[in-house]
A and B are shown apart, each in its own frame.
Chain A
Amino acid sequence: MNWENVVLAMLPEHLLLVGIVLLIVLELVSDRPRGALWLAILAVAAATAAAAFLATSGYASAPFAGHFSVDPATLTAKALLLALVLPTLLLSRDDFSETRFHILLLSSVYGVCLLLSADSFLTMFLGLEIMSLPVYVLVLLAFQRPEGPEAALKYLVLSSAATATFLMGVSFLYGGTGTLALTAFSQALGSPNTMAQAAVVLVVVAFFLKAAIVPFHAWAPDAYEGASVPVTAYMATVVKAGVLLAALRLFGTTPVGRPMADLLTLLPLISMVWGNLAAIRQTSFRRMIAYSSIAHAGYLFFAFLGAGPGRFQAVVFYILAYALMNLLAFASLPRGSDDAASDRLDSLKGLYQRRPFAALMLGLAMLSLAGIPPLPGFIAKFLIFKNVIAAGYTVYAVLGLIGSYLGIYFYLRVIQYAFMSADAVSQPSNERTLALSASVLCLVPAVLVALFPGWFIGLL
């Protein structure tokens, strides 16, 4: 084992760990710790910078061969996900002042980083669990209304079921091949062996559960609604991205054969349709976003129909566009003392009169999520469906596009409330500087990505 490699390859993780330890110390020495938020931001920013630096210098190594490896593409994805944590942290100031929030969040981020570099099922399992366990507590920590604990418990139980399914699949694979390396999965993809196929299906189902694909989605609306804004934002963006990128690591660049391709399309397709239709009926913003994220998980799994490097590009691009716009939306939301009331879609009425900038940002985010050009969401959607058509699945692409069409209505309804309805309740308007900086932090990269998508794809 080369120690230099261990230090350098895991530098982002190490920096996060340092941040976590310092936060724990801070919690111990002071009753009302100040600066916990800034310490957390500093740790994440340092980790982002480290990952970005390693990525640009073309660093690649495998400090724990067969278990953990990094290469420029992985590091780029890691840097992106870490960067997405920054606006989430900025958003959290209004809800959480306790240090434990930051400790838990950073721990979960640590799990995401591990997940992105996993080479074996062992590391992947560790990553998934380290990522998920703090989130159950985070959902509970947000406890502001009676449904909070119920949501957390639901999430815990269903997520554990996913873990069990995942382990079952992995043990099948191990039984068949005698190895825990991720490559066993891509080999099993094309294998006619029943056991290998069962293993593949079990692992895929576990990922569907974690990513909230219909019919394994039921936990998401409750968890999203029950948690508070920053936690929901974190679940909808970073956790979802982590799960998808882990799945990407599993599938690699191997083309998906026909029976698997149908499984990979059918359930995501149902997710799109169901997620988009169910979102129409919602009166809670976060619940609506939960259904929207169910639909978006569907689009993301569509990207797996394409093969080669295009798959990685499409997924990462989509995740970036989707996550930035979700965070932008969350940063623009009006926030009041009563969480349940300010979460209602009605509370958005007349937002433009009260806070024009926030309303414009919210509108932008909704249109982008709906995939309307020239916003980044459109380019991301285009990239996915371009790959699907290039892989020869034209019919699936058409169905998928029609599924995405169904989503337009409920996004427009948000804009309708924010711009076209008279002010229902005249709340005092206060521009919150931190949320504002979070919007800018999302807006600038989103604009750049929309204007120069070619440059960004070249990075991947």
Chain B
Amino acid sequence: MAELLNFVVWLPVAGMLAIALIPASQENTVRQLTLWLMIVQFVATAVLYVNFDSSVAGLQFETRVPWIESWGVSYHIGLDGINILLVMLTAFLGPLVVAGAFSAITKEVKLFYAMVFFIQFAMMGTFVAQDLFLFYVFWETMLIPMFLIIGIWGGERRIYATLKFFLYTAFGSILMLAALIYLVWSLQNATGQLSFAFADLYKVRLPVQAQTLLLGAFALSFAIKVPMFPLHTWLPDAHVEAPTAGSVILAGVLLKMGTYGFMKLGFPLFPDATQLYTPLIMALAVISIVVGACLALVQTDIKKVIAYSSISHLGYVMLGLVSLDILGIQGAVIQMVSHGLTAAGLFFLVGMIYERCHTRDIAAYGGLAKIMPVYSVFFAIMTLAAVGLPTTSGFTGEFLVLLGAFNAAWPLHVAGSSFSLVMAVTAVSGVVLGAMYMLWLAQRMLFGAVKAPHLPLADINLREKSIMAILVVAVFWLGLFPQEAMRKTEIAARQYQQMVVGAPAPQRTAEGATPAVAAPVAATLGSTR
């Protein structure tokens, strides 16, 4: 099966080379070929997902081949409970992105699909890499195709947006590069072993001061990608100017690399520093939730609303990760996938209306429910999923995160420190604000007097319906049956918790300090624990 994982990772490269051989005039061949290869990639990933054994800790489908032996770098990839869902999400969105771009991308078609393959390769590689050097290479490589996707096929201010995106993210990575070299060098000094493997690096326990600096360097890079307040300013520009496919990739997968980085590297590598700075990270996460939601409330551009909502939603992921409660951690992973689905769906919907009317101004629309009924149904479903309506994936993620945050905060509150509790309560307000901006957006666009820049407006076609239907199914699937996904992540989540906390978290129920609110809910979710 390890070959299958390699196949999944390298298939896009083969696709890129295949596209290069097709004459530029045969645009439809390029489109079809890309779509089919992406579907093949998805099927292969699904096979991996099904065969992933959720009762075993550690890596599965592992490949480890020395790459640069003299530096201790190896080509080391594998799946574990943390990346399996994200790999699945990446492969799932691939064909949808390609299909969604069929009518929108008409210039430099060949280069576009080559770049979609390229970014798919880089994202897959980042998620499955188990070697820090390899991870960094994939992590940075990703900038190249995204830079071109926004810069060539983007909107009016695309150059500004894409340069801002590139320079912002590259700055974070440059310090991470210094930090990772230092970390590996410390490992070599301490044990005489020169290795970039994650598993070896977890063993290094540096003094807190060094940990703090290194965490700072890693966190800067990851926090820019997430993005966390106050490093979020590149995101609205990049989202607004990117073509639909770019926005979907950005919101669907790229942003998760930041949170994945925190979960896989940032926090477990530097546990002492993480514990020391948990209040700060928590505060930033909550500020991201609230500020992102408030900013989304005042936007006049549809894409910007969704862009700011992404900041808010990823704040929950961060909150779940630093809560260090098992439910919170699992919720964070579910929230990553859920946001990947809902944000992708919303960006597709915006793209569809933009293709028809060429404006993203909310005020230009109204009463779409009357003229585009199918579109409006999908819009409403995605809106509700983003709000976190029960039965949708958004509910599972946000709910578990908040539960975890309260679970972790209550004992501290009882012990006399109410900071975490205040943070958790503040985070709940994000849910309310989220409902406000999303429902208000839906209300202004779908209801009221019929208004659109171009009338009559055709409803979405079969291709667009299929894309949205697939996403809707996934959203409900994750909302109704989260156990399956949670089982896959459970062991890894516990490992992560253990690595950061150092010892298994005390059973709160046994202490008798169980918060009254959490107890019954925890019981209902007991099967997943």
**A141 interface contact, C-beta 8 A:** no
By a CB distance below 8 angstroms, the chain B residues around A125 are none
Interface string of B148-166 (1 = CB under 8 A from A): 1001100000110011001
Question: Of A394, A401, A454, which one neighbours B68 at CB under 8 angstroms?
Answer: A454
Cβ–Cβ contact A385 & B178, under 8 A: yes
Which B residues are CB-close (under 8 A) to A389?
178, 181-182, 185
Give the distance to chain B from A118, nearest Cβ to Cβ, in Å.
28
Cβ A382 vs Cβ B177 within 8 A: yes
Q: Which residues of B contact A340 (CB under 8 A)?
A: none
Q: Which residue of A lies closest to B217 (CB)?
A: A398
Q: Give the size category of A's interface with B.
A: 20 to 34
CA of A420 to CA of B112 in the docked complex: distance in angstroms? 13
A62 at the interface (CB under 8 A from B): no
Known contacts: A416-B159, A420-B151. The answer to whether A402 contacts B174 by CB under 8 A is yes
Closest A residue to B133 using CB positions: A382
Among A76-84, A178-186, A403-411, A439-447, the stretch that binds chain B is: A403-411
Asked if B174 and A404 make an inter-chain contact with CB atoms under 8 angstroms apart, the answer reads yes
Q: In the complex, what's the smallest C-beta–C-beta distance from A439 to chain B, in angstroms?
A: 15
Binds B, one of A142-150, A169-177, A245-253, A371-379: A371-379
Q: Tell me if A373 and B151 are in contact (CB < 8 A).
A: no
Q: CA A372 – CA B182 in complex, angstroms? A: 19
Q: Does B170 contact A (CB under 8 A)?
A: yes
CB distance from A67 to the nearest CB of B (A): 33
| B163 near A373: Cβ-Cβ < 8 Å | no
Question: A401: which of B70, B147, B167, B175 is its contact (CB, 8 Å)?
Answer: B175
- The distance in angstroms between the C-alpha atoms of A304 and B141, with both chains bound, is 28
Tell which of A373, A385, A398, A404 touches B137, judged by Cβ atoms closer than 8 Å: A373
Q: Is the CB of B170 within 8 A of A408?
A: yes
A359 to nearest B CB, angstroms? 10
Nearest-neighbor residue (CB-CB) of A353 within chain B? B108
Assembly CA distance A415 to B115 (angstroms): 15
When chains A and B are docked, how far (Å) is the Cα of A404 from the Cα of B171? Answer: 10
**Using Cβ atoms and an 8 Å threshold, which residues of chain B touch A374?**
137, 141
Q: How far is the CA of A458 from the CA of B73 in the complex (A)?
A: 14
- A212 CB, nearest partner CB in chain B, Å: 24
Interface check B277, CB cutoff 8 A: no
The interface residues of chain B lying within 8 Å CB-to-CB of A419 are: 148, 151-152
A161 interface contact, C-beta 8 A:
no
B151 touching A397, Cβ below 8 Å: no
Query: What are the residues of chain B within 8 A of A356 when measuring CB–CB?
Result: 24, 111
Q: Which residue of B lies closest to A404 (CB)?
A: B174
Which of A390, A401, A415 sits near B178, CB closer than 8 Å? A401
A385 to B138, CA, bound (A): 19
Within 8 A of B (CB), among A334-390: 352, 356, 367, 372-374, 378, 382, 385-386, 389-390
Among A352, A390, A412, point to the contact of B147 (Cβ < 8 A).
A412
Chain B residues with Cβ below 8 Å from A372 are: 140-141, 143-144, 170
Residue of A nearest to B189 (CB): A390
Instruction: Determine whether A190 belongs to the interface, using a CB cutoff of 8 Å to chain B.
Output: no
**Chain A: CB-nearest residue to B166:** A412
A453 interface residue per 8 A CB criterion? yes
Q: Does A457 contact B (CB under 8 A)?
A: yes
Residues from chain B with Cβ under 8 Å of A373 in the complex: 136-138, 140-141
Q: Once the chains bind, are B182 and A408 in contact (CB under 8 Å)? A: no
**A397 contacts B181, C-beta separation under 8 Å:** yes
For residue B69, CB closer than 8 A to chain A, the reply is yes
Please, how many angstroms separate the alpha-carbon atoms of A409 and B171 in the complex? Answer: 11
CB of B67 within 8 A of chain A?
A: yes
Contacts of B178 in A (CB 8 A): 385, 389, 394, 397-398, 401
Given known A390-B185, A412-B147, A416-B151, contact A453–B170 (CB-CB < 8 A): no
**Cβ of B440 < 8 Å from any Cβ of A?**
no
- Contacting residues of chain A (403-450) with chain B, CB-CB under 8 angstroms: 404-405, 408-409, 412, 415-416, 419-420
B71 touches A (CB below 8 Å): yes
Q: A389-B181, A412-B166 in contact; A453/B143 too (CB < 8 A)?
A: no
On whether the beta carbons of A352 and B137 are closer than 8 Å, the reply is no
Which residues of B163-214 are within 8 A (CB) of A? Answer: 163, 166-167, 170-171, 174-175, 177-178, 181-182, 185
CA distance A416 to B66 in the complex (A): 37
Chain B neighbourhood of A398, CB < 8 A = 175, 178
**Cβ–Cβ contact B167 & A409, under 8 A:** yes
A367 and B144 contacting across the interface, CB-CB below 8 Å: yes
Interface string of B423-456 (1 = CB under 8 A from A): 0000000000000000000000000000000000
Instruction: Say yes or no: A454 contacts B67, CB within 8 Å.
Output: yes
Q: What is the interface residue range for chain B against chain A?
A: 35 or more
A386 vs B175: C-alpha distance when bound (angstroms):
13
Q: Are A378 and B71 in contact, with the CB atoms below 8 A?
A: no
State in angstroms the CA–CA spacing of A390 and B67 once bound together. 21
Pick from B163, B167, B174: contact of A416, CB under 8 Å? B163
**Could you tell me the distance between the alpha carbons of A378 and B167 in the complex, rounded to whole angstroms?**
16
**When the two chains form the complex, which single residue of A390, A397, A420, A458 contacts B159, counting CB atoms closer than 8 Å?**
A420
CA distance A255 to B11 in the complex (A): 46
What are the residues of chain B within 8 A of A367 when measuring CB–CB?
144
Residues of B within 8 A of A457 (CB): 68, 70
Q: Nearest chain-B residue to A394 (Cβ)?
A: B182
CA distance A356 to B114 in the complex (A): 13
Q: Which residues of B contact A408 (CB under 8 A)?
A: 166-167, 170
Q: Mark A110-123, 1 if CB is under 8 A from B, else 0.
A: 00000000000000
CA distance A386 to B70 in the complex (A): 12
How far is it, in angstroms, between the C-alpha of A402 and the C-alpha of B176 when the chains are bound?
Answer: 11
CA distance A147 to B127 in the complex (A): 53
Question: A11 to B225, alpha carbons, bound, how many Å?
Answer: 55
A287-339 residues with Cβ-Cβ distance < 8 A to B are none
Measured between beta carbons, the chain B residues less than 8 angstroms from A453 are 68
Q: How far, in angstroms, from A397 to B171 measured CA to CA in the complex?
A: 15
Contact B174 A409 (CB under 8 A): no
Residues of B within 8 A of A386 (CB): 71, 181, 185
- Chain A residue nearest to B68 (CB atoms) is A454
Given A352-B108, A420-B152: A378 in contact with B68 (beta carbons within 8 A): no
Interface residues in B485-513 (C-beta closer than 8 Å to A)? none
Question: Residues of B contacting A415 with CB < 8 Å?
Answer: 147-148, 151
B108 near A420: Cβ-Cβ < 8 Å: no
Which residue of chain B has the shortest Cβ distance to A420 in the bound complex? B151
Report Cα–Cα, A394/B144, bound state, in Å: 28
- Measured CA separation A374–B514 after assembly (Å): 50
Q: Once the chains are docked, how many angstroms separate the CA of A231 from the CA of B144?
A: 31
User: Measured between C-beta atoms, what is the minimum distance from A305 to chain B in Å?
Assistant: 13
**How far is A453 from B133 in the complex, measured between Cα atoms in Å?**
13
Give chain A residues whose Cβ lies under 8 Å from the Cβ of B138. Answer: 373
* A346 CB to nearest chain B CB (Å): 15
User: For residue A394, which residues in chain B have a CB less than 8 angstroms away from its CB?
Assistant: 178, 182
In angstroms, Cα B181 to Cα A416, docked, is 31
Q: Is A401 in contact with B151, judged by CB distance below 8 angstroms?
A: no
Q: Is the CB of B151 within 8 A of A385?
A: no
In the complex, per-residue mask of B23-35: 1 if CB is within 8 Å of any chain A CB, else 0: 0100000000000
Q: Which of A378, A401, A402, A412 meets B163, CB within 8 Å?
A: A412
A394 to B177, alpha carbons, bound, how many Å? 12
Q: Which residues on B sit within 8 Å (CB–CB) of A378?
A: 137, 140
* Binary interface encoding of chain B residues 253-292 relative to chain A, with 1 for a CB under 8 A from any of its CBs, else 0: 0000000000000000000000000000000000000000
Query: How many Å lie between the Cα of A408 and that of B172 in the bound state?
Result: 13
Q: A373-B138, A412-B147 are in contact. List 8 more A-B contacts (CB 8 A).
A: A385-B178, A386-B71, A402-B174, A405-B171, A419-B151, A453-B68, A454-B67, A454-B68
Residues of A that sit less than 8 Å from B by CB: 352, 356, 367, 372-374, 378, 382, 385-386, 389-390, 394, 397-398, 401-402, 404-405, 408-409, 412, 415-416, 419-420, 453-454, 457-458
Give 18 A-B contacts (CB < 8 Å), ordered by A residue: A352-B111, A356-B24, A356-B111, A372-B170, A373-B136, A373-B138, A374-B137, A378-B137, A389-B178, A397-B178, A404-B174, A405-B170, A405-B174, A420-B159, A453-B68, A454-B68, A454-B73, A457-B68
The 4 A-B pairs of least Cβ separation, nearest first, read: A454-B68, A373-B137, A373-B140, A420-B151
